[in-house]
Amino acid sequence: MTISRSLDQADIAALRSTVRGAVHRPTDPGYPIDGFNVAVSRRPWAVVDVLDADDVAAVVAFAGDAGMTVAVHSTGHGGTQIDGHSIVVRTGLLDVCNVDPEKRVARIGAGVRWQTVLDAAAPHGLAPLCGSSTTVGVAGFLSGGGIGPLVRTVGASSDHARSITVVTGDGEIIIATPELNPELFWGLRGGKATLGIITEVTVDLLPVPEIYGGALYFDGSEADRIVRAWRDWALALPRVANTSLALLRLPEMPGVPPMLAGRLTVAVRYAGIGDLADHAEILAPMRAVTTPLLDAVGPMPYAAIGAIHADPVDPMPTHEGAALLHDLPDDAIDALLDATGPTSGSALTVVEMRLLGGAFADEPTVRSALCHRDAALTLTTIGVLAPPIAEAVIGDSGRTIDGMAPWSTGGRLPNFAASSDPAVNATCYDDDTRSWLAALADQHDRRGVLRVGQVMRA
């Protein structure tokens, strides 16, 4: 039976009868979707707290019959707008996290955040390849490729996935590995939600109990000197060393060290593995540029890796911009500091560049849909959309990204480009990858159930 597009109370009863998890309509107390970016509007027709892959498949089948779409929600870090034509699958109850220390793998549900995996792996001296924020969901991070603090040393985090369980738009539950359904395994790593809703992943864990990491914070009045020194130093780093630089305008609030609050500062982040004694010598040139306001770099447990970037953990209304850079010559630094430096009056909270290259640029053992591996750096802008600076944040972000256009590759990385705009999503891929993702999506989602949010479709 085909359900009418004009859905009524009988239809919600039908949905509730097909899933074990709770189903919430807008008037129900369980309906509101807590997402990290509260500026994103999420007002779906219903929210389903799924209990397993069978629940996800049932929701997908229901939506297909109703002519609706299905979006997925975990933490909302990469959230896009959702309206009343969609049902949201909320994955928080898919919370399995099993570490096998002998095989050095972890089996992880789609509702699990990285810190949970870090805490489970740490007693065994093992390291999951998380991102800079450990409160991000594992599945969403890996579906976008995954650029972590050790990316130059170990490559993209999704290169270390062993298997992925997914529910396709046709409602099939499929396990994908390099040998089993390899075309899906290729596209699920980098293709975001294009090919299905991930319910579980198995990933490699590396024997890295400790790293040399943290951040040096400098006075923003010396930004010109520090950024140029960082550029020269960073581009000569060995693969065991990883770094990013951020221009920060942190507010005076709990959790922000007083010497960093209410002013422009420059953070030089660092993460290295191997002989930890070597990293003090590698970092020495940056320590010698000028006296830091705060030196918070040294040996640390891998499980504390989130302290390097110290990303916020509380939801807030944010606006982000992103680009990939092929180079950072002197005139590019001039343009960046004109837009965001000490005399710019910029309303942006964070302007960050992450160094790529190294293992990230290598051809992976098992290819994936993650593109643009030849980029030299990522550029990200983040601002808080709060009165009275909300309009200024959007304008300053656009001016910063546009001002760096001469040194941009024209591409973006999926996890830095949360958008439902097809034109934006297209920039995350090269021509061949776009075509293959779209073709696979049409093959596995014949009714277009997953044509919503950050997906690549023809």
State the Cα–Cα distance between residues 254 and 421, nearest whole angstrom: 36
Q: Which residues of 411-445 are buried (b: 16+ CB within 10 A; e: fewer)?
A: bbbbbbbbbeeeeebebbbeeebbebbbebbeebb
State the Cα–Cα distance between residues 251 and 267, nearest whole angstrom: 15
Nearest to 213 by CA among 157, 130, 137: 130
Whole-number pLDDT of residue 14: 92
Whole-number pLDDT of residue 5: 43
State the Cα–Cα distance between residues 381 and 80, nearest whole angstrom: 17
Whole-number pLDDT of residue 38: 78
Whole-number pLDDT of residue 4: 41
State whether residue 104 is helix, strand or coil. coil
Whole-number pLDDT of residue 314: 80
Q: Can you name the residues that pair with 127 across neighbouring β-strands? A: 206
Q: Can you name the residues that pair with 198 across neighbouring β-strands? A: 166
> Per DSSP, which regions of 234-393 are E strands?
241-250, 263-272, 294-301, 318-325, 350-355, 377-384
Q: 149 with 132: CB under 8 angstroms? A: yes
State the Cα–Cα distance between residues 153 and 170, nearest whole angstrom: 38
Q: Which residues of 24-38 are buried (b: 16+ CB within 10 A; e: fewer)?
A: bbeeeeebebebbbb
119: which 2 tokens? 């805490």
Whole-number pLDDT of residue 7: 54
pTM of this structure: 0.95
User: Could you tell me how many residues make up the chain?
Assistant: 458
All structural domains of the chain = 9-90 (3.30.43.10), 97-207+427-444 (3.30.465.10), 210-416 (3.40.462.20)
Q: 212 with 299: CB under 8 angstroms? A: yes
Mean pLDDT, 10 residues at a time, the chain of 458 residues = 46 94 96 81 94 98 96 83 94 98 98 97 98 96 97 98 98 98 98 98 98 98 98 97 98 91 97 94 98 97 96 85 98 98 97 98 97 98 93 97 98 94 96 98 98 95
